[in-house]
Amino acid sequence: MQITTRFTIAVHIITAIDYFNGKEKVTSSFLAESVGVNPVIVREIMGDLKAAGIIAISQGKSGIELVKDTRDITFYDVYKAIGCVDGEGLFHFHERPNPMCPVGGHIHKALDGKLQIIQSEFEDSLKCITLYSVIADTRQAIADDSELLHLS
């Protein structure tokens, strides 16, 4: 199962909020243009990020702001905030294995523990990556492109 695009959109939103802070008024329309999606999608994801205490949304001058330091926001925080996968986890077991078949009757027992290990290891790896690292890499890429433009 693939994690939905909501994850990468959420990371994009957080990165843009950080980058444009103090330079532009960050709104859902502004972010939607950056992401390249409908503003409704951005607003839905922002609602999840707000509920998780990652961003604050105001109608005033400031627009959308980060509530937490990006060093304290992990991929896991984003993953959980936007519900990338349902409560079942990364793997959705097929609905009706045949209990009368020797394989179908025992496949859950053989697979469930292994899939849980993979889920746990995946989530642990998400906890090791912060949004700060994405933001730093984005800023570096912007700086590199800027240098290339000056050399041309």
pLDDT tens per residue across span 115-124: 999 999 999 9
**CATH code (residue 32):** 1.10.10.10
27 assigned to some structural domain: yes
1 assigned to some structural domain: no
Q: What is the pTM of this model?
A: 0.86
Total of domains in the chain: 1
Q: Does position 149 have pLDDT exceeding 70, yes or no?
A: no
Residue 60: domain span: 6-146
Under the banding of pLDDT at 50, 70 and 90, the label for residue 148 is: low
User: pLDDT per residue over 80-128, tens digit each?
Assistant: 999 877 666 788 778 889 999 999 999 999 999 999 999 999 999 999 9
DSSP characters over the chain: -PPPTHHHHHHHHHHHHHHHTTTS-B-HHHHHHHHTS-HHHHHHHHHHHHHTTSEEE-SSSSBEEESS-GGG-BHHHHHHHTTSS-TT-S----S---TTSTTTTTHHHHHHHHHHHHHHHHHHHHTT-BHHHHHHHHHHHHHHHHHHHHH-
